[in-house]
Amino acid sequence: MSLLRPTLTVGAFTLVSRITGFIRDVMIAQFLGAGMLADCFLVAFRFTNFFSQIFAEGVFPAVFVPLFSTVEENRGRSAAWVFVDQIWTVLVWSMAAFSLVMVLAMPWAMLLFAPGLGDVPGKRELAVALARITFPYFLFAVLAALLSGMLNSLGRFAAPAAAMSILNITLVAALVLLSPGLRADHALAWGTVLAGILQVLWLLAAARRVGHRPRLTRLRLTPEVKILLARIAPAALGTGLSQINMLTDTLFASLLPTGALSTLYYAERVNQLPLGVVGIAIGTALLPLLSRQVAAGDHEAAMTSQNRALEVALFLVLPAAAGLMVLAHPIVTLLFVHGQFGAVDAEATSHALLAYAMGAPGIIAVRIFTPTFFARGDTRTPMLAAAMTLAINIALNLALMHWLAQVGIALSSALSAMANALMLGVILARRGQLRRDGRLWRRLLRIGAATLIMTGGLMLLRTVLPEGGKFLGPILLAAEILAGGAMYGLVVWIFGASDVPDFLRIVGRCLEKS
């Protein structure tokens, strides 16, 4: 199996997910604007996602994949299926019980999550009602994460990657089909639950094609289950702290005037496009690669893989982040200025986007450093780093939000992400697991120089070209993006700033053994 099948498949489907996500957010902005209804639904949606992402993006990639691979290698495929059934049973009963408790306790949970909602009459009550509808999605997201982990461990990447778009497509369909007879915020809430069900059904069909569909069995605490549960605790806490760190934006924004929650959400969604495509695609390939190399005792190869991953990720993310900073306003205007979303909202959102984009290098570095700890069975260190990052973010929010409002909140997130990456990088270096690869530093200097040249060229181009209007604006924006990409590509070629195929070959050779 070549790398282009797993990594580029994940990247392509992630890109589709981000594009459908933008369509979803554009429609949410059009139907709900940036007022009370949007604030309430987005708070409910992010509250549900807070718990979903802990398991779907954090715990299972870190814990389940290595254990499943170990069981399959040492005891065979049939033992691996038994292990899957045991974990499936534990998750169904425990997550269903947790979901029921959270639905009942939602008024108190929302009081902690977004305390400022109570300042507007009826706002907290609406957020609670919407969160009670959306929260069962968490159960289905966890089950989907288990199925995705199993499929990825077997080298099946397409179905899990495609499942990422189901949520976005379902929410768009819910707005179009349900909103004529149901208020838009409630249509979105019910659409969220339906999306979770569809994701599980989609992945169950894929699991059946590889030879096993998980089923409920008798609860048994086998040695493998005990190991998984023991590793889940620090991994879940670390991922939970990371999610809390991101959601401090929601907490502090709820204390600002109406609209701050929505503008921050839209800005973060735009910023996540390059981060999601690059981070998820590389991270999906990197964790199993590092796990196999560490298990084989080939630590030199593990460090080389990590350095090449960092090189490729920053090669793609740095120019994308710089482009978002320069072109923030026309991008936000093109995507969101429709219906209830006006020019004032676009101005506020673009300022927040500029601040968020500053943290892109830190966020992508954390996504690459963290699998290095997980591959060695260390889920504690990322947890401690996440705790320190949370403290830094809260302190920065308190210092900046009264001065810069929601822009200060976005800037705090960016700076705390850089601090998290620095902490993890220093720890890895001290352990001898992050070596100063001469090639890496040479390439990063050249990538940085190419990004600066591209940024200067884009800024100059912005002063020459007119603002454009409803019809000319998109054409000018497309021209600016193409010009920026051409400038960056030319300078990269002249400087010899990166060798993406080299990283693809390294991971591809390992994946051929999957």
pLDDT of residue 514: 40
Sign of the torsion formed by the C-alpha atoms of 194, 195, 199 and 202: positive
Integer Cα distance of 126 and 107 in angstroms? 10
> Which token pair is 407?
């822009």
- CB within 8 A of 325, min separation 6: which ones? 353, 354, 357, 358, 455
Residue 11 has pLDDT above 80, yes or no: no
Integer Cα distance of 309 and 366 in angstroms? 12
* Region of residue 76 (phi > 0: left; psi between -120 and 50: alpha; otherwise: beta): left
Residue 257 has pLDDT above 90, yes or no: no
- CB within 8 A of 234, min separation 6: which ones? 379, 380, 383
pLDDT of residue 456: 95
pLDDT of residue 354: 93
- What is the rounded radius of gyration, in angstroms, for the C-alpha atoms of the chain? 22
The domain spans of the chain are 9-220
How many beta carbons lie within 10 A of that of residue 230, not counting itself? Answer: 12
pLDDT of residue 193: 95
How many beta carbons lie within 10 A of that of residue 176, not counting itself? Answer: 12
- DSSP-derived secondary structure letter, 181: T
Amino acid type, 316:
L
Q: How far is CA 91 from the centre of its chain?
A: 22
Residue identified by tokens 């979105």 is 188
> Which token pair is 380?
């504690």
CB 2 within 8 A of CB 499: no
Integer Cα distance of 387 and 239 in angstroms? 10
CB 357 within 8 A of CB 213: no
> How would residue 308 be classed by pLDDT, with cut points 50, 70 and 90?
confident
Q: Which of 48-52, 280-284, 298-302 has the lowest mean pLDDT?
A: 280-284
Does the model's pTM come out above 0.75? Answer: no
Q: How far is CA 300 from the centre of its chain?
A: 29
Amino acid type, 175:
L
Residue identified by tokens 């181009």 is 461
Q: Tens of pLDDT along 170-209?
A: 999 999 998 777 888 899 999 999 999 999 999 999 999 9
Integer Cα distance of 118 and 122 in angstroms? 8
Integer Cα distance of 176 and 174 in angstroms? 5
Q: Tens of pLDDT along 356-392?
A: 999 999 988 888 888 788 777 777 888 889 889 989 9
Among residues 445, 456, 457, the alpha carbon closest in space to that of 496 is found at: 445
Integer Cα distance of 236 and 48 in angstroms? 15
Among residues 459, 241, 277, the alpha carbon closest in space to that of 354 is found at: 459
What number is the average pLDDT over the span 340-351?
83
pLDDT of residue 228: 79
pLDDT of residue 345: 83
Long-range contacts of 329-337 (CB under 8 A, 24+ apart): 330/468, 330/473, 330/476, 330/477, 330/480, 331/270, 331/477, 332/266, 332/267, 332/270, 333/473, 334/473, 334/474, 334/477, 335/22, 335/25, 335/26, 335/266, 335/270, 336/25, 336/26, 336/29, 336/266
pLDDT of residue 501: 55
Query: DSSP assignment of 314-348, as one string?
Result: HHHHHHHHHHHHHSHHHHHHHHH-STT--HHHHHH
Residue 479 has pLDDT above 50, yes or no: yes
Integer Cα distance of 215 and 504 in angstroms? 37
Please, what is the average pLDDT of the chain?
A: 82
CB 203 within 8 A of CB 160: yes
Half-sphere exposure of 248 (CA within 13 A, CB side): 25
How many beta carbons lie within 10 A of that of residue 179, not counting itself? Answer: 17
Residue with the bigger pLDDT between 289 and 143: it is 143
> Which token pair is 398?
């308190």
- What distances in angstroms separate CA 457 from CA 282, 462, 463, one per listed residue? 29, 9, 10
Residue 483 has pLDDT above 90, yes or no: yes
